[in-house]
A and B are shown apart, each in its own frame.
Chain A
């Protein structure tokens, strides 16, 4: 019931956050129907949240007892950046967030094309012509397949939508 793996940087903080979240959910679940009855709507969420608190605390204990993987010469934050959040990963995640937000504004085709190009570049695919062609080709395929076979309406975008021809929506 324990792990022999060394503790990763940020693991204790993450576990503590999970326990705090579980405790908050336990409190919220309690307020659904308090202790009205043993089969009330709040009981099952309370059981789940209570189980999360207990197992979360056990996981904190395990992480606490495990030896740290961080090297003494580096701070925990530096180790966290190296092992869990390297620059490429942070940039890629930021691009994903921007892409999700842009979907509604600029529409599927434009936002997806820009996202594909930028993220391929960020992740290390340096052949610009290949990136331009692959992105375009894939988007054309997705657009045709999803519009015809799956009948999915893709977002046209609030900003560019009014200027987009009907067949491209």
Chain B
């Protein structure tokens, strides 16, 4: 217990880590707020720079950026009506009308406090649930991991996009890209077309920077002409009466955030939309009608998306399955540092888990400090014109891709994936499942082959064991439900379409 506490406070007592967490949170708020920059993009680029660092230092910085970034998106949603991050889409619905009424300061203050509150609930859930989930995960075999990874891919592919088939296509594309190179089990070349360069595989960091950085930069060119509106920012710190009024709602929606965040593949953006929907359905007398500046419309999504951060860490730390796109990238960082996320990580290196919990808590405290200060300067910075901003992101992306192996080939891969990602985005495909597929693909490949070999390559036995093993059967039911719930047939049955 004392040992765990020691690791929890490690980043609090070490000056360098304290500063890194503070810097990460501060930078995260701006990254999340500036339309065109995203947390996933920033963490992807950052991983290529920090792999020479000590893992604790890298994780302290990333924790800050993650928490700050999820919150930061709300700033531009309120001030500019442009969500800085997907998790802030719901925030703009009521945040911008509030700003137009001259209540931008009040809206930002309330958003900050409920975000921090949601963040704490998420971290608490992580601290309590993760050890229990890790114990349960010890009972998982290759079959269960295969199903969990499949479920994660399906969830992210179906919940975040408009089309089930496009979601599955993207996930399968990512898993296929991950197959390129030497087969880790037999050493055989796969999909390398005789190229020595490709035998080493395709760097998923280069792919991530391409899909999340370059593709986004190119897509942003369609929105160059959006002119920000100047807002009056005052009275930032919310009154206790206002907070007390909204705490019950924030508690409920934080719960939604934790659960949605903990689902493999579903992150803060989905949590925020579900929480907004929950508020709309359950709050009988909102401060104003929803969509016209209701404070409830701010409280619900903002508490949920920050609570989802703690939730997303649960499957990442315990199962090695990312809760959302950012945790997919963080898993990449752990692999680079020679760590293998999963139940054994929790057992063999419990200090890392308590260090992460401590860093997230610290970052949440910094979020409160930075969230309530410097907003007037902030309002100016988020107005950075895109013609200046986009080329800068591109240069950072190029440096990030080059830094992975000091190899220009990674830069070319990044560019290729960037252009592909642009067209995928434009034609309604999601790039999140592609990256998730790249992270989960090797696990699925390994789990499938191990499970098949365990049955002596008996296909029939392989299939029937999905139904006869209780754990597999439960996860399989969730996978089937995820697919069925997206079909027209199901929607017609529920009267949704």
Contact = CB atoms under 8 A, between A and B. Distances in A.
Contacts of B163: 1-3, 59, 62
B402 to A, nearest CB: 7
A159 B82 CA distance: 43
A45 B426 CA distance: 26
Contact of B166 (A44, A59, A103, A150): A59
A96 B49 contact: no
Contacts of A139: 395
Interface string A1-22: 1110100100100110010000
B444 A44 contact: yes
Given A42-B190, A103-B402, A125-B385, A5 B162 contact: yes
Interface string B211-234: 000100010011010000000000
A33 B185 CA distance: 14
B136 interface: no
A56 B190 CA distance: 22
A112 B394 CA distance: 10
Contacts of A42: 190
A75 interface: no
A105 B145 CA distance: 46
Given A1-B488, A116-B395, A84 B387 contact: no
Contacts of A84: 423, 426
B224 A123 contact: yes
A125 B387 contact: yes
A1 B179 contact: no
B387 A32 contact: no
Contacts of A112: 395, 398
B351 interface: no
A55 B169 contact: yes
A53 to B, nearest CB: 9
A88 interface: yes
Contacts of B394: 96, 99, 115, 119
Interface in A141-156: 142, 146, 149-155
Which one of B50, B418, B426 has the highest number of Cβ atoms from chain A below 10 Å of its Cβ? B426
Nearest to A93: B218
A1 B165 contact: yes
Interface in A68-97: 84, 86, 88-89, 92-93, 96-97
Interface string B407-442: 010011001001100010011100000000000010
A52 B179 CA distance: 14
B188 interface: yes
Interface in A18-47: 18, 25, 28-29, 32-33, 37-39, 41-45
A49 to B, nearest CB: 6
Contacts of B189: 32
B452 interface: yes
B24 to A, nearest CB: 13
B221 to A, nearest CB: 5
Contacts of B169: 18, 51-52, 55-56, 59
B486 A14 contact: no
Contacts of A146: 49, 399, 403
B175 interface: yes
A48 interface: yes
Nearest to B384: A134
A96 B214 contact: yes
Interface in B441-479: 441, 444-445, 448-449, 452-453, 457, 459, 462
B375 interface: no
A11 B457 contact: no
A89 B218 contact: yes
B415 A100 contact: yes
Contacts of B386: 123
Contact of B398 (A51, A58, A100, A124): A100
B221 A51 contact: no
B408 A150 contact: no
Contacts of B222: 86, 89
B183 interface: yes
A76 B438 CA distance: 34
Contacts of B419: 93
B445 A44 contact: yes
Contacts of B173: 48, 52
B52 interface: yes
Contact of A116 (B191, B391, B426): B391
24 contacts: A1-B165, A2-B163, A2-B488, A5-B162, A29-B176, A29-B190, A38-B457, A39-B457, A41-B183, A48-B441, A49-B172, A52-B176, A55-B172, A56-B169, A62-B163, A62-B165, A103-B398, A116-B391, A120-B387, A123-B391, A131-B388, A142-B395, A150-B50, A151-B52
Given A1-B486, A44-B179, 18 more contacts: A1-B165, A8-B426, A29-B176, A29-B191, A32-B191, A48-B441, A51-B172, A59-B163, A59-B165, A86-B222, A92-B218, A96-B214, A96-B394, A103-B402, A123-B391, A124-B387, A150-B49, A151-B52
Going nearest first, the 5 A-B pairs with the smallest beta carbon separation are: A123-B387, A125-B387, A150-B49, A58-B165, A39-B452
